[in-house]
Amino acid sequence: MRLDIASSQGVRSTGSAAPILTSEKINVIYPLPSGDVPAVVDFGIDIGEQEFVGLVGESGSGKSTAALALMGLVRPPGKIVSGEVRFHGQSLLSKTDDELRDIRGREIGLIVQNSRSALNPLLRVGVQIANVYLAHHKASKAEAMQRAVDSLETIGIPDARRRANSYPHQLSGGMAQRILIAMATINEPKLLIADEPTTGLDVTVQAQFLDALQTRVRESRSAVLFVTHDLGIVAHYCDRVAVMYRGRVIEEAGVRDLFANPRHPYTQRLLASSSNRRQSFRERASGTPEQ
């Protein structure tokens, strides 16, 4: 079976790509009675135009906290104690909540892990997606609703108009997850930060969403930071990968380099423990064995 590696060049850093987001020395703690838990330690990642960057590591390694910290959104009692994040050169961590909210809906899309509770139980999901569009565009409600339906179709929701009329409690977990994806992507953000957004989705649906995302990243000069534990997805879609272990990025490399020559012993173990899964994303998605 051959390795299912993305057809990208797998550059190590943003290099020639214009940077969209740069960050350094982010430290996040969770204060507990027994002492502060350093959840993220000196974290930094740079993301350039047209890059699909993966963030991997075992559960508890700090991926979700780091992804939220990039947007200044660590939930209390968690606290960002230091760090710098620049988005198109503007410092994000010094912005007010209102300024961050504006950037978040429009220029940076965020899909938080296990965020079904972010859906308002009292509103039809189509209205909720359309509202994200209306918050940042001058458009009629009908136009916004059409956008919402289009975005649901893009991520493979059959009978999208009917689905748009559903309330959250009428949807399966996978369907609710796709609503959240639609909300995070409807404004075509320059950067999408997505924390395990496809976990729990049928693999064919995952492939449809990831293919569309990859095409958009390449064609619209946007970028993605994709948090996942699925090394098959990393191998197939990511250009570059950062590996977290105990709150730190312990290795960062182009995806080809990482799979061919993992340097850190933890990365070697991570790859070894999932060698079957990383080889077969396309196979899983198509249901046909690779040559």
* Residues of the shown chain interacting with Mg ion in the complex, contacts defined by CB under 5 A: 63-64, 113
3-state percent helix, strand, coil for the chain, nearest multiple of 5: 40, 25, 35
Q: Which is nearer to Mg ion, 13 or 113 (CB)?
A: 113
Q: Write down the least CB distance from residue 75 to Mg ion, Å.
A: 13
Q: Is 60 in the site for ligand ADP (CB under 6 A)?
A: yes
Q: Is 64 in the site for ligand ADP (CB under 6 A)?
A: yes
Q: Which is nearer to ligand ADP, 56 or 258 (CB)?
A: 56
Among 10, 48, 62, 232, binds ligand ADP (CB under 6 A): 62
Angstrom CA distances, 227 to 36, 167, 181, stand at 25, 28, 14
Please report, as a single letter, which amino acid is at residue 21: L
Query: What are the b/e assignments for 76-109, b being 16+ CB within 10 Å?
Result: eebebeebebbbeeeebbebeeeebeebbbbbbb
Piece in contact with ligand ADP (CB under 6 A), picked from 60-68, 158-166, 180-188, 267-275:
60-68
Q: What residue spans of the chain are helical by DSSP H?
A: 63-70, 97-106, 125-134, 141-154, 160-164, 173-185, 203-219, 231-237, 255-260, 265-273, 275-278, 281-286
Instruction: Report what 30 binds from ligand ADP, Mg ion, none; CB cut-off 5-8 Å by kind.
Output: ligand ADP
Piece in contact with ligand ADP (CB under 6 A), picked from 17-25, 58-66, 262-270, 278-286:
58-66
Q: Which is nearer to ligand ADP, 60 or 200 (CB)?
A: 60
Q: Please give the residue ranges that form the binding site for ligand ADP (CB under 6 A).
A: 30, 37, 39, 57, 59-65, 78
